[in-house]
Chains A and B, each alone.
Chain A
């Protein structure tokens, strides 16, 4: 040991001493408030790290990732008691509807029976989702979906209730301040007041930003004056509270004056509100739909919902949050229809055999079952996800998934309804039976709450936006990033290119061909592994097609509606498949009642949809030999120009070129030249 080692020893002991003391000093010296802050910051960190929410299922899908955390575990209620309560509630509702509600009569008279409305109020169905502190039932989305299954026995009542609480008063729940909630919600929950949602106008349907109704602020700044006309307002005839959207003038940051949408809570008692006559409709005839006029209606400034100029976002939020419920209501109604139809098929005899013995009839029943199962699974999965709140108490953005549920279930309702009628034969066509009414009621589902076409574009474009942003980020890094970042980005892009565009279209994965890793395998019951593989395969090629088409069209993909529609269809199919997978997986693991029957349905559904998807995915290839885009465009252009059916009649024998407008034009030109 020399001087050097002694030095080291001393310095080391010093250091340890310092460390030792440092441990205790803060604990002694920290003030209580400081400690509080420390604790808070720690808490926040843990919350942030444990609850980092990924983008929604559809967005992950666009990036080529199958989000298994979304599928598994399949949502359930928290306790068994909750389930019992919910079942009791839905049983009473079902009993009420089967005993007290005469839908045929209401449909014929195009009016609600006041006794039925009273009964609904007594059960608290006007305030299902309003929190208990405001006098509502305070149901979560899953519970609400379950109750709707029973309510959907009558389409008109379902629509009326949806207009009241899913969109009419949802604005107050989402964006209203405390005073507004305290003022309006208790009365709305009991059904004393009924709400309506006023957005649609003669000149603006799907394009909500183009509304013409205007609100101007008075000089004292205390009241707004509403002017304009709203059409096709459900409950418009008797609603006491209306969520009205109108354009208001606002000043932008750069000093420009702009028209932005603002939401208002309008009471009928404010004055200047007049309703038109109730419309005579194809379906949901009992519900009240009419136009509402606002003529200098004074609205106090405190009745502005959210902020001035922020109405568009509120409208979109309301509509997006309401859509998921269509899945369960459609499933409930179809389940009841399926029961009656099978009853009919087993009793009716033709050619000496029961209808149920015919293969074609069986196939129809099978198809319906699959669709019901899928719609139900999708609806409850989405509802369950919407119930999970993040650390700020906000629900996740499920707008794409909700739109998917709406599209799938509305189309299932229409096709299954018509199939039911087909099985019933002439019986279903008669007004004496309820089936034609159910079919008529189902037709509106494809149209309202955003038409399916618009929603398909929305779904596809949202996914494209996410995929495009990811790609954009990679491209940016590959161009401007530095060092390792840049090279990773370049390698990623190259790998993507190799997988999608190179002639081999094959990259060996990391297992060197021994086993293929399946992301879904670890989550699934053994019997569901194959179905999981199918979904994975679809997801993988879906990602490839997205990359291919983004590369082909770039920004212009926004105008390629047919491509977008195909993408939306595939995405909806994949979402349905994964919902079915998740639900059946849960049933198998818990070995629920009839779980083997469920497994048959689930595997069959996934097989079928997988095949369907393969066809759709193939149509997105370039070049696609069976593509008839060019033909469709030319035919439509010609027909749109003439506005009639252009082919000659099949019996025609003479070439009547004299009638052709082009020929006539040509003649006129020649005449002019001669003159």
Chain B
């Protein structure tokens, strides 16, 4: 069943190529593939006429490849059909269709490269990037103003962005938008909200949406050019433009949220040590932090960890933490607790905390709001409204003999009712704040034995002589998050998931 789903996903994804596939006949389409398509139709309610038919441009470069006549195919037996289907699946999985189109244009672009391109692409230093732009230009020159077959081309280039190192470059995506046919009569543009409700040229719009999705995934920085071009091409109210707009809206906010943005490509290249550094920085932000990489004494440590894990201890300590540690009361032990877990983007990082207990821990008894214990005296005075000893009446509901001398009446409303902003902020109770003592340092490592952590303490002694005399207690606290998957569970299957189903 899972395989069937996988097949259906991939077929949906490459459905634009189905019609043009030389190994794939009409009968095969009608007999075997309809279930998948039907399923798709039911889900999305898109009429079948929007599924692409073979495009002219594709047939041009496919001429060299062997093609079969319809009559020939009719004779083929069912067994043969099945075997052919398998090959189709392989073909689709291996992206050979893509590669055929791509290689054609890569070769063509490389052949046409000349000294004039140094002028045209003077601002692009990377050779691969240059090739990408050259390919698009060559294609545009080939197809003319009609730009037929643009869907295949854009899809192909979108799938192979990493080859040209343009994943994080927004200008590449803007360039891809040039490949869409523009003009009044293409039917792409939907300026009016009313027409935007009709599913005309749906596949172009879906492709545009995929483009936006990929931009988001790779963390390319959206700009106004992207938005303007999308608006010109698809219209103000089309879903593509809305997506571009949401990208533009969210990008600065996300950057403000995480002060050290990193692109997906860079993120994938991070070594475990760098990953740990980034994770620590995320927990303990600030420019005055000191980072140390302490080696672990492997001879004493029985644990063996993989090469892609952190095999040393990376410690992080700020100036204030150092001061606090210097003032540490030696009668209380220093605790090392962990391992805890923090996610840096999609990667999990394991860390330990060095801390002390709060010096004046307030342990308050939980008070039930409805019942409060009052003394006899209080009860008496509240119930009878007179003083307990002298039986002198109180003034009103206050527990005072004499009235307040205020000329102006006071307005009583719930605290903070006036300022609307305070509604959004939930206050932290004071008792939760003091439950945790001062944190002296944090460290990242994938070792979990106390023997390995000793080298951390030994390393910290150089900067913090107090640790020489203090007693350090190791407390193992297994976080439930440790059992969570190490990486993004979606990432491995990312290639096979159609964005339209998310």
The interface of chain A, by Cβ under 8 A from chain B, is: 206-209, 250-254, 258, 260-261, 309-310, 312-313, 316, 454, 457-458, 461-462, 464-465, 468-469, 471-472, 475-476, 550-558
Contact = CB atoms under 8 A, between A and B. Distances in A.
Nearest to B395: A310
B403 interface: yes
A169 B410 CA distance: 30
A558 B411 contact: yes
A465 B410 CA distance: 6
A165 B441 CA distance: 80
Interface stretch (B36-44, B344-352, B414-422): B414-422
A209 B418 contact: no
Contacts of B420: 551
Contacts of B418: 550-557
23 contacts: A206-B407, A207-B407, A208-B407, A209-B405, A209-B406, A250-B402, A252-B401, A253-B387, A310-B402, A310-B403, A313-B403, A316-B407, A457-B408, A461-B409, A464-B409, A469-B412, A471-B413, A475-B417, A550-B417, A550-B418, A554-B415, A554-B419, A555-B411
Given A313-B403, A465-B411, 13 more contacts: A252-B400, A258-B402, A260-B405, A309-B402, A310-B403, A316-B407, A458-B408, A461-B408, A468-B411, A469-B412, A476-B414, A554-B418, A555-B417
A212 to B, nearest CB: 14
- For the residues of A in contact with B, the DSSP-based class is helix
A313 B403 CA distance: 8
Contacts of A552: 418
Interface of B: 381, 387, 392, 394, 399-403, 405-420
B408 A558 contact: yes
Given A472-B414, A557-B418, A261 B405 contact: yes
Contacts, number: 89
Nearest to A250: B402
Is the contact region of chain B dominated by helix, strand, or loop, or is it mixed?
loop
A206 B406 CA distance: 12
Contact of B400 (A253, A464, A471): A253
A628 B389 CA distance: 58
Nearest to A256: B400
A312 B405 contact: yes
Ordered nearest first, which 6 A-B pairs have the shortest CB separation?
A554-B418, A209-B405, A309-B402, A465-B409, A312-B405, A468-B411
Given A252-B401, A252-B402, A465 B412 contact: yes
A472 B418 CA distance: 12
Nearest to B387: A253
A232 B412 CA distance: 36
A260 B417 contact: no
Contacts of A207: 407
Contacts of B399: 253-254
A551 B419 CA distance: 7
Nearest to B403: A313
Contacts of B407: 206-209, 316, 454, 458
B401 A309 contact: yes
B411 A250 contact: no
Contact of A558 (B401, B405, B410, B417): B410
Given A252-B400, A554-B417, A556-B418, A462 B405 contact: no
Contacts of A471: 413
Contacts of A313: 403
A554 B413 contact: yes
A251 B392 CA distance: 12
Contacts of A551: 417-418, 420
B416 A468 contact: no
A457 B394 CA distance: 29
A276 to B, nearest CB: 27
A461 to B, nearest CB: 5
A208 B406 CA distance: 9
Contacts of B402: 250, 252, 258, 260, 309-310
Given A472-B414, A554-B416, A557-B418, A253 B401 contact: yes
B112 to A, nearest CB: 60
A462 B409 CA distance: 6
Nearest to A554: B418
Contact of A472 (B387, B409, B412): B412
A465 B387 CA distance: 29
Contacts of A208: 405, 407
Given A209-B406, A250-B402, A258-B402, A464 B411 contact: yes
B122 to A, nearest CB: 52
A206 B408 CA distance: 11
B328 to A, nearest CB: 43
Contacts of B414: 472, 475-476
